Amino acid sequence: MLRSRNVWLGLVALLALYLLPFWVSGYVLGLLTVAYYYSVAAMAWDLLFGFAGEVNFGPSFLVGLGAYTAAMLDHYEGTPIWLCLIAGAAMAVLGGAILAVPALRLRGPYFGLVTLVAVLLLQNLLVLFSGITGGEIGLDIPDVLSVDDRTNYFYALVFMTISGGLLLGLSRSTAGLILQASGQDATEAAALGFNVAKHKLAAFCISALFSGLAGGMLIFYLGTASVGTVVDISVGVQFIIAAVLGGRRTIVGAAIGSIFLIVAGEILRPLGELSTFVVSGIALIVILFFPGGFLGALRQRGG
Amino acid sequence: MLALQILITGFAISALYGRGAVGFTLIFGVSGVLNLSHGAIMVVAAVAAWASASFLGFGRYGGAAAGVLAGFLLSYATYFLVVRPIQNSRAIPRDEKEIFVLTGTLLWGIMIQEAVSYLFSNTPKTVLPLLPGVVGIFGVRTPANEIVTFAISWLVIGLLWLLVNRTRRGKTLIAAAMNPRGLTLLGFEMANIHRTVWAIYGVLAGIAGVLLGAFLGVSSDNVGTLTASAFSIVVLGGLGSVSGSLIAAYVVGYLETVTAYLVAPSVRSVPVLLLLVLVVYLRPQGLLGRR
């Protein structure tokens, strides 16, 4: 358990984020807006990996489903934004349920491959039907959440706060404990009388719900949906690195990791092409020497 | 005519895929590591062959040798800098080592990819073919290099078979794949065996990279695709099964070639992905895998 000092630290940091728009420029706010949407997807991934013990290599499959469903509804039907978001989330939940079926039967690398293939298939289909989906160029979206930097920033921050709070609460609840038990030893958890399949299915659907919503919100902020921003494997890899970097099995760590990745990428921008090299190097060093991630290191020092 | 064309192209591509995947499956079988920097090692081998032939004047054979050496060295670096520290770490719980090795090698691969693209840009590099010229096979004009690719692939696999099945050192590899604890009890050092298998893997990946560079050309952007294709072939054939991987390589190679010729080149990977999903659902251990 995190000590209460750290909880206070977290609340102060969150408050600082809410007050940030009074100090910094619109450019920084835009950067953080994207980081917040990414962090929701990373937290949703952590629920699956850290608690349910399922290595999902394709978080961008769920994010992409939500994003493209919302984008296509808005582009072709002119559906109101909130309805697009709900439809996108519903589609992502459906995708999550489809992924859950093999997860209940397969283990480790096999399940990892299915999720990887899911991303590749989605990507191939989007490119194949480029007449409808916009292909690699992307699909422009007529509606946007807002044109104002600050409003967008607050939308993203509130979305992250609520999603993070719900996911954190869930992971600390009885259901979260049962999930953790089924992730570590499914047979024993089942022997204790818990319905492993039901809990894992629920975890997939919840993770998919938040991923899909994050994808939908992100494209309504960016004003365009493209394979490179919401579906590509490198996008999914970024969620995974963020969650492991921040500290797996903590939910909050995933958000910290996402913000760190985007801010670090920006600070290192003068290095040009080498910035990705340096960021990956830092992440590798953290994984090798501080496997608990940022929060794990913090916890160790505290106790 | 078209059938013959498909037959020949498919043959060469499948041979390439096969050799790329054999090393990958060997590492998994013996040390339980899925090396996601596989594609990056292949690309470095090809780029090293290209650079040493065109800048340093090593010629086509010297360049190829330099490429294989680069693959070998990088494979050792991967093992000693990334994989072994994770395996020996006390801070990482045992049941989470797998995901840490996956994430670690993935990051390592991204670093290599970025370094290559920074030093040599991401334009495709074509390695000088080992044997220039064109040969007609029943009227189909085939580059001589395709035949060389095919021959070397099978030569290497034959040597590997001899090494594993006929030498004492090779037999310990099989034993390590079957029962590592039993082997340790017999007094064999696991670290020693892991070093051997990473050395073999490095040479295999190096040769695969150089031949791929000569056959299709390689750019740093290919890293992800190469890793993904090796991963899918290996799972299709059964993780850890060398002969399964070879069969799977031919299935994938021909499926892609047939789709590319008869349907459209842009959809070449779709049937493979569908087949993969089907196999993983119905027969998760792959064609020849053991559970």
3-state secondary structure A175-236: HHHHHHHHHHCHHHHHHCCCCHHHHHHHHHHHHHHHHHHHHHHHHHHHCEECHHHHCCHHHH
Integer angstrom CA distances of residue B44 from A155, A233, B40 = 44, 21, 6
Q: What is the pLDDT along chain B (291 residues), one digit of tens a residue?
A: 778 888 887 888 888 888 888 888 888 888 888 888 999 999 999 999 988 888 877 777 888 889 999 999 999 999 999 998 888 888 777 777 887 888 889 889 989 998 998 888 878 888 777 777 677 666 666 777 778 888 888 888 888 888 888 888 888 887 887 777 888 888 888 888 888 889 999 999 999 898 888 887 888 887 877 888 888 888 888 877 888 888 898 898 888 888 888 887 777 778 888 888 888 778 777 777 664
Q: What is the dihedral of CA A126, A128, A129, A135, to 10 degrees?
A: 50
CB contact under 8 A, B235 and A113: yes
Neighbours of B285 (CB within 10 A): 18
* pLDDT computed for residue B47 by the predictor: 92
Cβ-Cβ contacts under 8 Å, B86 against chain A: 287-288
Instruction: Tokens for B151, please give them.
Output: 């021959």
* pLDDT computed for residue A205 by the predictor: 93
Q: d(Cα B186, Cα B201) in Å, to the nearest integer? A: 25
Strands B134-137 and A224-225, bridge-based pairing: unpaired
Between A108 and B238, residue with greater pLDDT: B238
CB contact under 8 A, B266 and A127: yes
Cβ-Cβ contacts under 8 Å, A283 against chain B: 107
State whether residue B224 sits within 8 Å of chain A by CB.
yes
Nearest Cβ partner of B280 from A106, A124, A273?
A106
Report which residue type is found at A229. Answer: T
CB contact under 8 A, A55 and B103: no
In a mutational test of the A interface, the residue from B27, B79, B81, B110 whose CB has the highest number of chain A CBs within 10 Å is B110
Question: Using beta carbons and an 8 Å cutoff, which residues of A are at the interface with B?
Answer: 49, 55, 102, 105-106, 108-110, 112-114, 116-117, 120-121, 124, 127-128, 184, 233-234, 237, 240-241, 244, 273-274, 276-277, 280-281, 283-284, 287-288, 290-292
State whether residue B230 sits within 8 Å of chain A by CB.
no
Nearest Cβ partner of B104 from A55, A287, A290?
A287
- Name the 3-class secondary structure at B234: helix
- Name the 3-class secondary structure at A139: strand
A2 pLDDT band, cuts 50/70/90, is low
How many Cα atoms sit within 13 Å of B114 on the Cβ side? 17
Cβ-Cβ contacts under 8 Å, B236 against chain A: none
CB contact under 8 A, A120 and B228: yes
Nearest Cβ partner of B224 from A233, A276, A283?
A233
Please name the residue ranges forming H helices in A56-107.
59-72, 81-105
Pick from A56, A60, A77, A64: nearest CA to A204: A56
Mean pLDDT of A136-151: 84
CB contact under 8 A, B274 and A233: no
In a mutational test of the B interface, the residue from A49, A110, A295 whose CB has the highest number of chain B CBs within 10 Å is A110
Q: d(Cα B86, Cα B92) in Å, to the nearest integer? A: 7
**Percentage of chain A modeled with pLDDT above 90:** 31
Mention every residue, 6+ apart, whose C-beta is less than 8 A from residue A81.
A74, A143, A145, A220
In a mutational test of the B interface, the residue from A48, A61, A284, A286 whose CB has the highest number of chain B CBs within 10 Å is A284
Q: For A39-86, how does the pLDDT look when each residue is reduced to its tens digit (9 = 90+)?
A: 999 999 999 888 888 878 888 999 999 999 999 999 998 888 999 999
* pLDDT computed for residue B125 by the predictor: 80
DSSP symbol at B268:
T
Is residue A210 packed enough to be buried (19+ CB in 10 Å), middle (13-18) or exposed (0-12)?
A: buried
Q: d(Cα B19, Cα B14) in Å, to the nearest integer? A: 9
**Residue-wise burial string across A74-101, b where 16 or more C-beta atoms lie within 10 A, e elsewhere:** bbeeebebeebbbbbbbbbbebbeebbe
CB contact under 8 A, A233 and B115: no
- Structural domains of chain A sorted by starting position, each given as residue range(s) with its CATH number in brackets: 27-233 (1.10.3470.10)
In a mutational test of the A interface, the residue from B273, B275, B282 whose CB has the highest number of chain A CBs within 10 Å is B273
Instruction: Tokens for A155, please give them.
Output: 């939308």
CB A64 within 8 A of CB A230: yes
**ipTM reported for the complex surpasses 0.85:** no
* pLDDT computed for residue A303 by the predictor: 44
* pLDDT computed for residue A257 by the predictor: 92
Q: What is the dihedral of CA B119, B124, B125, B130, to 10 degrees?
A: 160
pTM of the entire predicted model: 0.84
Q: d(Cα B119, Cα B107) in Å, to the nearest integer? A: 18
Name the average pLDDT for chain A. Answer: 87
> Beta partners for B136?
B141
Nearest Cβ partner of B231 from A105, A113, A184?
A113
Residue A166 has pLDDT above 90, yes or no: yes
For chain A, the straight-line distance linking the first and the last C-alpha, in angstroms and rounded, comes to 11
Is residue B133 packed enough to be buried (19+ CB in 10 Å), middle (13-18) or exposed (0-12)?
A: exposed
* pLDDT computed for residue A54 by the predictor: 81
CB contact under 8 A, A49 and B92: no
Element (H, E) at B73: helix B59-77
* pLDDT computed for residue A301 by the predictor: 66
State whether residue B276 sits within 8 Å of chain A by CB.
yes
CB A64 within 8 A of CB A211: no
Pick from A225, A208, A237: nearest CA to A68: A225
Q: d(Cα B249, Cα B257) in Å, to the nearest integer? A: 12
Neighbours of A271 (CB within 10 A): 14
CB contact under 8 A, B82 and A240: no
Taking CA–CA distances from A233, the nearest residue in chain B reads: B224
CB contact under 8 A, B103 and A273: no
Quote the Cα angle for B267-B272-B276, to 5°.
145
Give the best-scoring range by mean pLDDT among A201-210, A245-254, B209-218, B251-260. A201-210
Integer angstrom CA distances of residue B167 from A201, B115, B172, B197 = 49, 38, 9, 14
- Name the 3-class secondary structure at B34: coil
> Beta partners for A139?
A225
CB A252 within 8 A of CB A103: no
Nearest Cβ partner of A110 from B82, B108, B280?
B280
State whether residue B281 sits within 8 Å of chain A by CB.
yes
Quote the Cα angle for B261-B264-B269, to 5°.
95
**B positions 233-262 inside 8 Å of A (CB):** 235, 239
Cβ-Cβ contacts under 8 Å, B235 against chain A: 109-110, 113
Phi, psi (deg, nearest 5) at residue B217? 85, 150
Please give, rounded to a whole number of angstroms, the shortest distance from the CA of A3 to a CA of chain B.
21
Q: d(Cα A276, Cα B102) in Å, to the nearest integer? A: 18
Please give, rounded to a whole number of angstroms, the shortest distance from the CA of A144 to a CA of chain B.
33
